[in-house]
Structure 1
Amino acid sequence: MLTKYNPKTDITQFGQLKTSEFRKVRQNLQANEAIDEETMEILLPRKKTIQLAKCRDHISLLIVDDVCHFLQTRDTPFVPSLRVLHRYPNILKHVQVDKGAIKFIIRGADVMCRGLTTPGAVLGDFEKNEVLAIHAEGKQHAIGIGRAIMSSEEIRSVNSGIGLELIHHLGDGLWKASSFDY
């Protein structure tokens, strides 16, 4: 989804997040994710200016100190970026893909069911449309973030087709954007 993202050309609006929107985002993040109050204060501090960047394709970014901390697509609530996920790995549920799927995910491909059910993969339990961190066999940090197209039970039973829609991955445009200095 963010494979060809370029912050210099794809941002259509950029401005400060309103206080009422800020409170709503914090409440939603704390309700949906496993983020405690202390971590939330580090990620979205009350005393700092939070920037909201609206991009093409219905993508919104929350930027703190010129670094994207959270992103939202049309189909998902605000989810942590990979940079945040690497610092706080337990914010999202995760799945693990086998070694063969790594190169495809890094290139921006969706995660296929077979990559989640083969030896070396760990599927776990999740519902349809849930946002998950994608880890790889033998790697410490997440390589991507995806939205479940099917529940874990459906993936186990069907075992073909797309299991997770890739939202954000290592090497995409958002990962390469080092700062958002506007």
Structure 2
Amino acid sequence: MFKKIQVGSSTQLKSSAVRGLKASVVEQYPALAQIIDEMVPKKGTPVYSIKCQNPRGTLYSVRDEILFVQPKNDLIFPTLRVAMQYPGMMKSVTVDKGTIRAALKGANIMAPGLTSEGGSIEGDIPAGTPVVIHVEGKSQPIAVGKMELSADTIRAEKTGVAIISVTFLGDGLWKHEK
């Protein structure tokens, strides 16, 4: 989704908007409740909302670092750097090694990449849930995405688009500097 980004206007958020952003992030990612004030300070450090023209959405920046992205009319997702820094913040899936090349080009994750040998989906993850994507045998994630199908459906059908890729290693967000 954020393969290449084209940023537009940048606006400093008011304190009420920062509180709303923090509340939304904690609601979606309860594991961040204890550290959200470190990530997004209460006072003294400005938080910016950056409009993104291509793809449409909003980037949230603190200390010149983009922490969160919100595609138009969608959930708030952490950037891959944030997902790496706080590994237990969201549900995780593992893809097989054959999926790496396509995933690093921004392709959506197909169900066979999760159901074949080397891939796994732990527990029940409903459709629409943000997930971090790992590769078998590697500890660091390679992408952040949104479940298109539930884990049960993926296991049963073993076909189709399973995860919509939002941000991945080496994409425009990874390379972007404010």
Quickly name the TM-score band, shorter chain normalised.
Answer: over 0.9
Contact 2:32 2:89 in 1 (8 A): no
Give the counterpart letter for 1:2 in structure 2. F
Q: CA RMSD in A?
A: 1.2
2:143 is aligned with 1:147: no
- Change over 3 Å in CA distance of 1:135–1:17 after alignment to 2: same
Any idea what SS the aligned residue of 1:38 has? coil
Contact 1:29 1:35 in 2 (8 A): no
Q: Distance in 2 between matches of 1:75 and 1:161?
A: 23
Contact 2:109 2:161 in 1 (8 A): yes
TM-score, length basis structure 1: 0.92
Q: Distance in 2 between matches of 1:152 and 1:76?
A: 20
Q: Distance in 2 between matches of 1:75 and 1:164?
A: 17
Report the counterpart of residue 72 of structure 2 in structure 1.
74
Identity %: 31
Any idea what SS the aligned residue of 1:134 has? strand
2:163 is aligned with 1:164: yes
Shift, 1:114, TM fit: 0.2
Shift, 1:168, TM fit: 0.2
- The answer to which of 141-150 and 38-47 deviates more is 38-47
2:140 is aligned with 1:115: no
Report the counterpart of residue 98 of structure 2 in structure 1.
100
Unaligned ranges ≥5, structure 2 = none
Report the counterpart of residue 14 of structure 1 in structure 2.
10
Unaligned ranges ≥5, structure 1 = none
2:85 is aligned with 1:87: yes
Q: Distance in 2 between matches of 1:75 and 1:165?
A: 15
Q: Say which of 14, 21, 25 aligns to 1:25.
A: 21
Shift, 1:37, TM fit: 3.7
Write out the 4+ residue segments of structure 1 that deviate beyond 6 Å after TM superposition.
none
Report the counterpart of residue 135 of structure 2 in structure 1.
136
More strand, by proportion: 2
Contact 1:34 1:90 in 2 (8 A): no
Q: Distance in 2 between matches of 1:49 and 1:161?
A: 42
1:10-65 per-residue CA deviation (whole Å, 9 max, x = no partner) reads: 11220101222111111111112133443111211112100110111321111011
Contact 1:14 1:53 in 2 (8 A): yes
Aligned length: 175
- Change over 3 Å in CA distance of 1:158–1:37 after alignment to 2: closer
Q: Distance in 2 between matches of 1:38 and 1:127?
A: 25
TM-score, length basis structure 2: 0.94
2:52 is aligned with 1:55: yes
- Change over 3 Å in CA distance of 1:67–1:90 after alignment to 2: same
